[in-house]
Structure 1
Amino acid sequence: MSKKVLEVSETEFISLHLDTLIVRKHGARITLPLKTLDTILITNPYCNISVPLLNKIVENNINLIVCNTKFQPTMQILPISSYYSNKNYLWQIRWTDEQKNKIWKQLVKLKIINYARLINHLNITTDDNIEKLTNYYTNVVDGDLNNCEGHAAKLSFKLLYGEDFSRSQKDDIINKYLNYGYIVLMTYVSRTLIKNGLDNRIGIFHKSFNNHFALSCDIMEPFRPIIDYLTFSYLIKNQNDDFKSYKKDLFISFENFIFPNGKNLNQVIDMLVKAIINNKINERDFNIDWS
């Protein structure tokens, strides 16, 4: 049975009783067993949450996301210690440049092939553009020194959202949808990394003193096309600027996107992290089924 996503948008206090989340709303008392929850999304900026509940949320590996007054995710609660020993962390801090470059090459190739399959599925391109994406995929080298990832993303954005679209336009409605989706996706990856004993701050390609989610930014790359597809479906295909419904469908898509191995996105993120740790990435396991 799929676990639930709980959005806290109206109530001003959520607490814990035994292993049950308590929501008080308009004098009523609503209870939800923590074991049934995958994610708690707090969109009410005035909501209070009890410390015992926070501890139980972490203990149950529930993804807790807090949004600001503009409904943009600004905070994620993560445990200090993971469910693993320090083995994976010690492996991570010993990464050589050669290892990181090989991993990044595989992640970039996964991202490009998922873009190519999406563009082909939507039938919004020509054979020439498919050939370009194929060439970008073929020409990826260790460390992606020729920036095939950037070229493929730029072409895919142009095909999905038009010639004039730019990721640098902060007030653009498309970027609003993309940014929200990417941040939520990043929280799911972050949770999985912590669960597997890895340090989010130690990235493969993304490196910045100000980025505390560098590794999440790396690992999420092959799955970004899912956010791009959902944004395209709302704003381009259906001309439907309904951000509230988009947020709901975003979480549903994480359950419904099925990969060739029959697993959903949550499961596949965990598979990819473990595959990187074990140096056994099978590309076919991470190809998105757009049908």
Structure 2
Amino acid sequence: MERVVDIETDGLFLAAHRGFLTVSSAGEEKGRIPLDDVGALIIHAHGTSWSNTVLVRLSERAVPVVICGANHAPVACVWPLEGHYQQGARMRAQVGASKPLTKQIWRQIVAAKIRMQGYVLSWAGKEAGAFDLLARKVRSGDPDNIEAQAARRYWKALLGSDFSRDRTADGANALLNYGYTVLRAVISRAICAAGLHPTIGVFHANRANAFALSDDLMEPYRPLVDRIVFELVSSGHVELTSDAKRRLASIATLDLDNGDGTVSPLSLQAQRFVHSVAVSFETGRVEIALPGKPAPQGVRELMDDP
């Protein structure tokens, strides 16, 4: 099972030794994990240092290394140069994708996100009937900005009328920042593995955003982070503690319904989803494997008290 490794203790040294990622402090090894089990490496701590071999070995495995700022949002990411044997052809297809194609992909992504928001609200005991209707109203490219209309209803309904999404704020916002950072890393690895480039989005096109595609493709999964944050806040966990990070990082292992009676962990389902987007770029037909709702047993395990 791929694991999201978070470095939050100051002054640690990371190295690669005989197939393991090792973590040491003052010359004493504190822990190790097989490199093949690492799904993403997220670094928050001050004074972290590492050998160049760590970056080489993780890049060989298409594992992103995400460096975060004080607000727990990513400020840099080490991106592997090679990720798929069809990388060149797929990137050319990605760059050359027609506007109608990318608009149809975005329509499905937005609709899936809104349906997932409705699921989260329903689970939280909130009124969610309007969200299925909003999802059905999304048109190609979302010209009516149904996504924003849903967001305005969603945040107030889920976290209260006083809540405002602010990436620079503490409390629930810091929890959301961290959870989204985990998602971004998981999706970024899937993008690399599919032979796509993270900068070339289907909707986001900010020149300063080197991970526009990552931000596009993580949208349907965001409400799953929101659900965990709601659970944390409701139980009095409003600070980004080690336990809160552990629970948020474990979202990569959350089992999602595949729609055919089977389930897959989010990290694996994300690979299937991103691969389907890559194939859509190549074929010109929109046939994408969107995420389903969480499997009940997986949610119960994820929500166990830290």
Instruction: Answer yes or no: same fold by TM over 0.5.
Output: yes
Contact 2:71 2:177 in 1 (8 A): no
| Residue aligned with 1:212, SS | coil
Going from structure 1 to structure 2, the CA distance change for 1:84 and 1:136 (only over 3 Å counts) comes to same
Query: How many residue pairs align between the two structures?
Result: 283
1:289 and 2:287 are equivalent in the alignment: no
| Residue aligned with 1:75, SS | strand
In structure 2, the partner of 1:153 is 151
Please list every run of 5 or more consecutive structure 1 residues that lacks an aligned counterpart in the other structure.
Answer: none
Selected match of 1:280 from 268, 280, 287:
287
Output aligned runs, 1:1-291, within 5 Å.
Answer: 2-8=1-7, 9-29=9-29, 30-69=31-70, 71-85=72-86, 86-125=88-127, 129-130=128-129, 132-168=130-166, 170-235=168-233, 237-244=234-241, 245-260=243-258, 261-278=262-279, 279-283=286-290, 286-289=291-294, 291=296
Letter in 2 for 1:243: L
| Residue aligned with 1:152, SS | helix
State the distance in 1 between where 2:191 and 2:167 align: 31
Task: List, as ranges, runs of 4+ consecutive aligned residues in structure 1 with deviation greater than 6 Å.
Answer: none
| Residue aligned with 1:82, SS | coil
Greater Cα shift, 172-181 or 134-143: 172-181
Query: What TM-score, normalized by structure 1, do the two folds share?
Result: 0.89
State the distance in 2 between where 1:26 and 1:77 align: 26
| Residue aligned with 2:263, SS | coil
Deviation at 1:62, TM superposition (A): 2.7
Please list every run of 5 or more consecutive structure 2 residues that lacks an aligned counterpart in the other structure.
Answer: 280-285, 297-306
Letter in 2 for 1:162: G
Contact 1:101 1:204 in 2 (8 A): yes
The CA RMSD measured in Å over matched residues stands at 2.1
| Residue aligned with 2:278, SS | helix
Letter in 2 for 1:205: F
State the distance in 2 between where 1:171 and 1:153 align: 18
Letter in 1 for 2:264: K
State the distance in 1 between where 2:202 and 2:244 align: 31
Contact 1:114 1:222 in 2 (8 A): yes
Going from structure 1 to structure 2, the CA distance change for 1:67 and 1:217 (only over 3 Å counts) comes to closer
| Residue aligned with 1:143, SS | coil
State the distance in 1 between where 2:166 and 2:250 align: 28
| Residue aligned with 1:165, SS | coil
Deviation at 1:118, TM superposition (A): 1.6
Deviations 1:146-192 (A, max 9, x none): 11111112211111011222224732522222122222211211121
Letter in 1 for 2:230: F
| Residue aligned with 1:16, SS | strand
Contact 2:3 2:252 in 1 (8 A): no
State the distance in 2 between where 1:21 and 1:277 align: 31
Contact 2:21 2:34 in 1 (8 A): yes
Letter in 2 for 1:251: A
Query: What TM-score, normalized by structure 2, do the two folds share?
Result: 0.85
Identity over the aligned pairs, expressed in percent? Answer: 25
Contact 2:43 2:68 in 1 (8 A): yes
